[in-house]
Structure 1
Amino acid sequence: MKHVILIRHGKSSWNHNVGDVLRPLSERGVSDIKKIAKQFKLLEINPDAVFTSHAKRASHTCELFCEGIDYNLNDFDVVQLLYDFEGSQVIDFIKKLSHHIKVVLIFGHNNAFTNISNIFGSKYIDNVPTSGLVHLVFDIDKWENLKPGITKQTLFPKEL
């Protein structure tokens, strides 16, 4: 069994005159991801690997989440390929993961995460909101064999 946990970056702030990659989180984005991390920690799921888009809002979301679940902040990787808004680059990335990784957390963007959730999950999701988490489970031994699985759970800020 393989587990992909997709976490969309927190709500970003539009109060800064910066390009998309440098846009930071808003205060609400920070508080929402802390709530999601607190709830996720109760599930006692330990990731084998954590990857994030290089966009500031995604990497900051990753840092806050990892801090909230007591995951070593030195153990996540920043991957430019995850700066994807459609989903095909993220899917290609997942298919190339080491077969030793059983549980992976990926921090990134929409519409990629909504598309991936609907292609590979068992539950239709209209929109993965900011700070939203979708946990997908696959009955495979190697990531290269990725095929539709089940949506094990979702955690969305409005539900907490």
Structure 2
Amino acid sequence: MSAKKLFIVRHAKAEIPTWDKKDFDRNIMDKGAVRAQHIANSLKEVITIDDNTAVLSSTANRAIQTAHIFCSSLEFPLQNILQTKAIYEAYYLDILHIINQIPAHINTLVVFGHNPGLSDLTNYICNSYIELKTSHCAVINLEDGIDFASLSGGTGTLMQTITE
């Protein structure tokens, strides 16, 4: 079994919350889109996209818009993005449970979502202490013999955080 890689990406900078728009419906800002594009371009240097790659995103506007920017840059088909509302406002163990459903043949998984869940998940998996800012990407190697179904606390190594 080849080494598995997990990429955790917080959504791009979103518009300020207002009373007349639900949080779920907030869109990314222009400067957020620019930053996301820069980070997606940096991610291209360390990720391999192939038939054993999966992308999972929250269905909130700002997360799926960020996923589209990254996937366009990485040449991952937008129609293949797995979308679930369950990542939105989710506790890190609930996000982990979703990741644990990923099939064994997947070697590379990219997850788009929200804080604090994503930062907490990264820290739980890697025994690290980071806080993902908007558009930041945590690059995690899973330990030998660990697949996404068996991923749990302390079974990954934080290799880097892509911030620009």
Aligned counterpart, 2:72 = 67
1:8 matched to 2:10: yes
Whether 2:97 is the aligned partner of 1:92: answer: yes
Report the Cα distance in structure 1 between the residues aligned to 2:47 and 2:120, rounded to whole angstroms: 27
Q: Retained in 2: the 8 A contact 1:99–1:142?
A: yes
How many corresponding residue pairs?
A: 156
Q: Which amino acid aligns with 1:2?
A: K
TM, length-normalised to structure 2: 0.88
* 1:74 to 1:111, Cα distance in 2 relative to 1, 3 A: same
One of 30, 34, 37 as aligned partner of 2:37: 34
Q: Which moved more, 1:66-75 or 1:138-147?
A: 138-147
| 1:36-88, Cα deviation, whole Å (9 max, x unpaired) | 01111122422610010000000000001111112111211111111134312
Q: Is the 8 A contact 1:133 1:154 kept in 2?
A: yes
8 Å Cα contact 2:6-2:140 kept in structure 1: yes
Return the alpha-carbon distance in structure 2 between the equivalents of residues 91 and 37 of structure 1: 23
Q: How does 1:80-159 map to 2 (within 5 A)?
A: 80-125=85-130, 127-139=131-143, 140-147=145-152, 148=154, 149-156=156-163
Answer yes or no: is the 8 Å Cα contact 1:99–1:141 preserved in 2: no
Q: In the TM superposition, what whole-angstrom CA distance separates every residue of 1:78-105 from its partner, at most 9, and x where no partner exists? A: 1111113431211101111111111100
Q: Which deviates more, 101-110 or 81-90?
A: 81-90
Structure 1 vs Structure 2: percent identity of aligned residues?
24
SS at match of 1:12: coil
TM-score, normalised on structure 1?
0.90
Poorly superposed stretches of 4+, deviation over 3 Å: none
Question: Please, what is the CA RMSD of the aligned residues?
Answer: 1.6
Contact 1:84 1:90 (C-alpha < 8 Å) held by counterparts: no
Q: Which runs of 5+ in 1 are unaligned?
A: none
